[in-house]
Structures are given as structure tokens and as C-alpha cells.
């Protein structure tokens, strides 16, 4: 008798706990496969400390292969599920495609940034859902403070050292609290010429900070924020975002180069293509986390609408605490469906909440007991150490070093603005040249609403392969190395050439000097252009959407999207495919004397073909 095949999609809190528990319960009697875009489990609650320079990135990244030794790890993103054929189609990190057959499927794809139909937000804001976004924010804030310190113009200095955070939930509150401490420490070492200080703003239409928490804890958090100089504006949101600032709903304008989007999350759109009953973007499941009518299909975490036994008629909120518990119950029920053990219904006891406000300050209510100050700080950090599945000693060591040593305020420049678009389908993976890209739609809601309480909205998408311009960091995004220049109307070459060096406009529409003429794009079997022989991801089936003025920032794509028209697989018969439209034109192929773009090639200077060095080469 063959061993049962169990496939888990996603390695967040729910997926990771499911895999770890299944590995223990099955005792090597089942083949367990974990499909995830990265090879680590990200402990999201400590992400604000990464952005503030307290923790190193690897401290919050727990190795999947190191902690799940009996689980097969497959790197990739699910882009189609055939429920009748019991297969999961995926695309790997380098564009390769594959299929995973299963006897039991656990959907734990998690959540992504939630957008609102606000002009300019998708182009000029950045989310805070993945490690690349945290690293980008750390570099960006450091750079803005350094540029502001060197500026002689007060208006420019004020704009660069103004940081706007939208969304006063857990994430937004922690980002603002840690960010204010981080920038104040920078300014104490290197005062600004104009005598100005960093200004942090926290916006939300909710009546108070962290409305989901007890009023006493909310008041504690707001008091700490105001003591650190954070300008808390409740009942206010962003009406429009531009390159130079934001327009607020109260009519005021704030000049800034930084807009951090922490409004909330929405379930990963992978489940939308299955054609199964949904509840506000989440897949409906029974108390045993099983999809009705599909005994082989389970769902847990943010993509599952799990009935809340403590509140009849309601569903468990999209929190890490619930996702972690979902994973354990789901693993037991998967094993029970294979004939071992008894099924369990999901039940929980609220253990309370903890919010780290930086330093010795925190707000917590463990088991319903409100706490603040250093005591709450100790409880908060103790809870995180106990909850982390690994790296506890390393995290504690970083906390100790941060308490006795000054932070290293340096920008590494490893993650650029165009690498972490707000509409990214995978906030846990930074966009790289030549990687598969996807664009899709989103649904919006009013600021301050909880997860899943979204109203229909829209967000635009841009052509694939071209980074967005006019980012809030004050620098136009440059085209990565080895990406071909896209010709403009009238025959002029694109101004953003590889290596970040602007091309000279030659008379008569000639290309930039010493740049080989790009070859015309090759055509795939269906006639759609292909770049470097790699398949392009298809746009989500949501009707045509206009591009934003040619700013080629990739849009958000659903994980259930089918592959592009080139190398496209048959559509899963059990649900509607999300690849109803052909992919955007990826542009011409790179010149013959340059290697094709790939995820391992970083942007850099362009080399001359005649053997001589160009200006700026090193």
C-alpha cells in the first residue's frame, strides 16, 4: 500500500504548525510536502524590531529544512489547484513549473496587504508584511534622515524627516513607536543643520489606537506614542498620495517622502479561484477545519473562515495566535481522516494580547490582566521567546546587545523601492530582475475596519518588468541591470538604462551609446511575447485595468493565477482560473552579449563592449 501524500500550501503560522505536528503524528508513514516561496518561517510579530535595527533579519527567520527534517520542502508559489484531479500547480523561484499530486491538501497560504481605492497609494506607499519590506523601510528611513541632516533647505529637510504611517492597529502602532526611537537616536548623534527633528504621524479613521484591544491598553499605547513625539490623528486618513506628500481627509497636506501602509491584510486570493463557498474572501470550513463536500481538503489560518465557538455566528479573527492553534488542530484532523485517531473541533481560550512599544515600554493583557510599563515589556518579550519555534538564544542576545550598545544606523541598499511594491502577491519575496511577475486586483475597505471586512474596491496595475517611478524615497527607480531599455513613442530610447546610468538622448532616435540594439521579442506558442524563455504569470481575471502612467510597478497577483499564455497549463476543471487575460508585454530580450536576467543577477554598472571602461565603472 502506497503512503498517503499530504501537501501543505504556505509556511506561515498555520502551515508551519501543521507541518511540524503532522511530522510527529504520522511517524514517517506519510509523504508530507510543504510548498512555500521561501525556505524560512517568518515570525511576523518581531518584524518592526527588524525595521528599527534591534534584530537582525535572520533572527526572525526560522529555517524550514532545519526545523522540519521529515518534511519535503518545495520552493514555489501555488498558481492553480485542480480539485478533481487532486493536483497543485506551482511556479518556482526561477520560473520553472511543477505539479504536486496529493491525497490530502491543507491550504494555509496566509494573507497579503490590503489596498484601498485611494489615488497614488499603490505607487507611493509600501506595506509591512514581509522581510524585504522591513529591510527596505530600515534603509529608506536611515537614508531620509541622512539626506535631511545634509540639507540646507528647511522645506526639503522637513519633508524628508516626516514619516507617515497609515493604520493604527498592532503593526502600525509598533512601527511608529519603534521608528520614532530609531530616528531620534540618529538625530542625537548627527543633528540636522536646520535644527529640525524627525516627525512621525500615525493615521487611522478609527476612534482610538488599536480599537481591537481593551480601552486601557489602547490608552497606554497612545500615551507612549505621544510621549515620544508621534502625532496621533484619529478619524483621519489619506485622501491622495503623491511623490511629494499626502493629502489627508481633513483637507491638510503633509510633505513627506515616506508612506507606510499598515491598514490591514486580506486573505491570499488563492482560494478565490476554487469556486467554493467563501466568507469575505476566506474559505468556509467546518469546526474541524475541513471544507464541506471535500473530505480531502482542509484550510486553516487567514484563508479559512473558522467558526468561533466562543461567539456563535462569528469567525475567528485573522491573528497569529489563532493561526498557530489552527495548525495543530488541522494536523490532528488530517491524520484522523487517514484512519488514525479522532477528529477534533477547534476551540480556544483567549490568552490576551501583547504590543511591544520599544525600549522597556509595552502594553499587554495576559489572560485578561491589563499591564503597562516595564512589567508589560518583560511579559511581551517573554511571550515572544516562548512562541518562537527557533532562534530564541539569538533573539535574546540581540536584545541584550541593543540594551548596552548603540544601534548601527547604516543603509545597505540591498532592497530597492521597486523590489517591494505594495501590490506584490508575495510580500515575503523581493522582486528581482527576470523573476516571474504577476498583477491582479484587490478589494478595499474603509480604514480602521478589521480584516475581512472589506468593501469592493479597485487598484491599478502596471506593465510587467518596469520599476515604478517617483517613489516616496525621493529617487526614481532605476531599471535593473540586464533588463532591456523600453523604447518610448517617437523612437527615443528609455532614459533608465541598466546600472542606473541615464542614457543620452541621441538625435534621430538612436539608442544610448555603446548599448547593443535589442532584439525583437520572441513569441510564444500563443503569440504572446516571452522574455528570456521564461513563462510570464497571467493577470488575474478581473477585467481590464489601466496602467498608471507607465510606472511599471508590478501589481498584486493572486496565488491562484494560472500561468501565462506562453507555456500555459490546462485550467483546473474544479474552479474558475485566474488567468483569463494574457500577460503584459515583458519587453524585448536582453542584448546577445549580456546574460539573460535572473534572480541571481543584481543591478550593476553596464560594461562596454570594446574593452574600455565607461565612467563610473569600478
In 3D space, the residue among 10, 567, 598, 610 whose CA is nearest the CA of residue 271 turns out to be: 10
- Specify the pLDDT at position 587: 45
Per residue in 252-307, pLDDT (tens digit) is 999 999 999 999 888 998 898 898 999 988 999 999 999 999 999 999 999 999 99
Instruction: Give me the mean pLDDT over the 126-142 stretch.
Output: 93
If one compares 579 and 430, the residue with the highest pLDDT of the two is 430
Q: Is it the case that residue 614 has pLDDT exceeding 80?
A: no
The mean per-residue pLDDT over the stretch 63-85 comes to 93
- The residue ranking higher by pLDDT, 124 or 425, is 124
Segment 276-283 long-range contacts (CB within 8 Å, at least 24 positions apart) = 276/575, 278/305, 279/305, 279/315, 279/452, 280/305, 280/452, 280/453, 280/454, 281/443, 281/452, 281/454, 282/315, 282/452, 283/107
Q: Is 104 helix (H, G, I), strand (E, B) or coil?
A: strand
Question: How sure is the predictor about 434, in pLDDT bands with cuts at 50, 70 and 90?
Answer: low
Higher-pLDDT residue of 71 and 557 is 71
- Name the pLDDT band for 131 (thresholds 50, 70, 90): very high
C-alpha cell at 288: 474541524
- pLDDT reading at 531 higher than 60: no
User: Higher pLDDT residue, 592 or 63?
Assistant: 63
For residue 435, the model assigns a pLDDT of: 56
Q: How confident is the model at residue 429 (pLDDT cuts 50, 70, 90)?
A: confident
Report residue 331's pLDDT band, with 50, 70 and 90 as the boundaries.
very high
Report residue 229 CA to chain centroid gap.
Answer: 28
Query: What is the rounded distance in angstroms from the CA atom of residue 153 to the CA atom of residue 310?
Result: 57
Provide the pLDDT confidence category of residue 41 given band limits of 50, 70 and 90.
very high
Q: Which of 29-38, 39-48, 80-89, 407-416 has the lowest mean pLDDT?
A: 407-416
In this prediction, residue 136 carries a pLDDT of 94
pLDDT at residue 332 is higher than 90: yes
Q: Pick from 262, 36, 302: which is nearest to 171 by CA? A: 262
**What contacts 529, CB < 8 A, 6 or more positions away?**
521, 522, 523, 585, 586, 587
- pLDDT at residue number 409: 86
* The pLDDT value given to residue 430: 81
Mean predicted confidence (pLDDT) in 533-539: 36
According to DSSP, residue 312 is labeled T
Question: What span, in angstroms and rounded, lies between the C-alpha atoms of 230 and 447?
Answer: 19
**Residue 1, pLDDT score:** 54
H helix count then E strand count, the chain: 11, 27
Kindly state the average pLDDT of the residues 587-606.
43
* Of the candidates 416, 133, 361, the residue with the CA atom closest to the CA atom of residue 265: 133
Whether pLDDT at 350 is above 90: no
Beta-strand relationship, 231-234 and 199-204: parallel
* Contact by Cβ (8 Å): 51, 179: yes
pTM higher than 0.75, yes or no?
no
d(CA 337, CA 339): 5
Q: Tens of pLDDT along 152-202?
A: 889 999 999 999 999 999 999 999 999 999 999 999 888 887 778 899 999
Rounded percentage of the chain residues whose pLDDT exceeds 70: 69
pLDDT digits over 236-251, tens only? 999 999 999 999 999 9
Least confident of 35-44, 186-195, 388-397, 587-596: 587-596
Q: What is the mean pLDDT of the chain?
A: 76
Q: Which three cell numbers stand for residue 510?
A: 538612436
Least confident residue range of 54-63, 368-377, 500-509: 500-509
Q: Which residue has the higher pLDDT, 60 or 116?
A: 60
pLDDT of residue 556: 38
As a whole number, mean pLDDT of residues 128-135 equals 92
Amino acid at each position: 500500500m502506497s503512503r498517503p501524500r499530504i501537501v501543505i500550501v504556505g509556511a506561515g503560522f498555520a502551515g508551519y504548525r501543521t507541518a511540524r505536528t503532522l511530522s510527529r503524528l504520522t511517524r514517517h508513514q506519510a509523504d508530507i510536502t510543504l510548498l512555500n516561496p521561501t525556505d524560512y518561517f517568518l515570525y511576523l510579530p518581531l518584524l518592526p524590531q527588524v525595521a528599527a535595527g534591534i534584530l537582525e533579519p535572520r533572527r526572525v527567520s526560522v529555517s524550514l529544512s532545519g526545523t522540519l527534517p521529515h518534511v519535503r520542502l518545495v520552493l514555489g508559489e501555488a498558481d492553480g489547484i485542480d480539485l478533481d484531479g487532486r493536483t497543485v500547480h506551482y511556479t518556482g523561484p526561477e520560473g520553472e513549473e511543477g505539479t504536486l499530486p496529493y491525497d490530502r491538501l491543507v491550504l494555509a497560504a496566509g494573507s497579503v496587504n490590503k489596498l484601498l481605492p485611494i489615488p497614488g497609494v499603490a505607487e507611493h506607499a509600501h506595506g509591512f508584511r514581509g522581510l524585504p519590506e522591513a529591510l527596505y523601510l530600515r534603509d529608506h528611513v536611515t537614508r531620509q534622515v541622512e539626506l535631511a541632516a545634509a540639507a540646507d533647505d528647511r522645506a526639503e529637510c522637513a519633508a524628508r524627516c516626516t514619516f507617515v504611517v497609515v493604520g493604527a492597529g498592532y503593526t502600525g502602532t509598533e512601527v511608529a513607536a519603534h521608528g520614532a526611537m530609531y530616528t531620534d537616536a540618529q538625530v542625537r548623534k548627527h543633528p540636522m543643520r536646520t535644527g529640525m527633528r524627525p516627525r512621525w504621524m500615525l493615521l487611522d479613521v478609527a476612534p482610538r489606537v488599536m480599537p481591537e484591544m481593551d480601552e486601557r491598553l489602547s490608552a497606554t499605547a497612545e500615551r507612549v506614542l505621544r510621549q515620544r513625539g508621534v502625532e496621533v490623528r484619529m478619524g483621519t486618513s489619506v485622501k491622495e498620495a503623491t511623490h511629494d506628500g499626502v493629502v489627508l481627509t481633513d483637507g491638510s497636506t503633509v510633505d513627506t517622502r515616506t508612506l507606510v501602509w499598515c491598514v490591514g491584510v486580506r486573505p491570499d486570493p488563492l482560494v478565490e479561484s476554487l469556486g467554493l463557498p467563501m466568507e469575505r474572501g476566506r474559505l468556509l470550513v467546518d469546526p474541524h477545519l475541513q471544507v464541506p463536500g471535500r473530505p480531502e481538503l482542509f484550510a486553516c489560518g487567514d484563508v479559512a473562515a473558522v467558526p468561533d465557538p466562543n461567539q456563535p455566528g462569528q469567525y475567528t479573527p485573522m491573528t497569529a495566535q489563532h493561526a498557530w492553534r489552527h495548525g495543530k488542530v488541522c494536523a490532528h484532523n488530517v491524520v484522523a481522516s487517514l484512519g488514525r485517531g479522532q477528529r477534533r473541533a477547534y476551540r480556544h481560550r483567549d490568552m490576551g494580547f501583547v504590543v511591544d512599544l520599544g525600549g522597556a515600554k509595552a502594553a499587554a493583557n495576559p489572560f485578561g490582566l491589563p499591564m503597562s510599563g516595564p512589567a508589560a515589556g518583560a511579559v511581551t518579550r517573554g511571550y515572544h521567546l516562548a512562541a518562537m519555534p527557533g532562534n530564541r538564544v539569538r533573539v535574546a542576545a540581540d536584545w541584550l546587545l541593543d540594551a548596552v550598545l548603540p544601534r548601527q544606523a547604516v543603509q545597505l541598499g540591498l532592497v530597492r523601492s521597486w523590489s517591494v511594491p505594495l501590490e506584490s502577491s508575495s510580500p515575503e519575496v523581493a522582486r528581482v530582475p527576470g523573476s516571474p511577475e504577476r498583477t491582479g486586483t484587490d478589494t478595499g475597505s474603509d480604514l480602521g475596519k478589521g480584516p475581512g471586512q472589506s468593501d469592493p474596491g479597485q487598484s491599478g496595475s502596471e506593465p510587467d518588468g518596469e520599476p515604478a517611478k517617483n517613489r516616496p524615497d525621493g529617487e526614481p527607480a532605476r531599471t535593473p541591470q540586464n533588463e532591456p531599455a523600453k523604447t518610448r513613442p517617437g523612437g527615443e530610447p528609455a532614459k533608465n538604462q541598466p546600472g542606473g546610468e541615464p542614457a543620452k538622448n541621441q538625435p534621430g532616435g538612436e539608442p544610448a551609446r555603446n548599448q547593443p540594439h535589442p532584439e525583437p521579442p520572441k513569441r510564444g506558442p500563443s503569440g504572446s511575447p516571452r522574455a528570456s524563455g521564461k513563462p510570464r504569470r497571467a493577470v488575474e481575471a478581473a477585467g481590464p485595468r489601466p496602467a498608471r502612467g507607465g510606472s511599471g510597478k508590478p501589481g498584486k497577483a493572486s496565488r491562484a493565477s494560472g500561468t501565462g499564455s506562453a507555456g500555459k497549463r490546462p485550467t483546473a476543471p474544479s474552479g474558475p482560473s485566474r488567468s483569463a487575460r494574457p500577460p503584459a508585454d515583458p519587453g524585448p530580450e536582453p542584448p546577445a552579449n549580456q546574460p539573460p536576467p535572473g534572480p541571481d543577477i543584481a543591478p550593476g554598472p553596464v560594461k562596454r563592449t570594446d574593452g574600455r571602461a565607461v565612467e563610473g565603472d569600478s
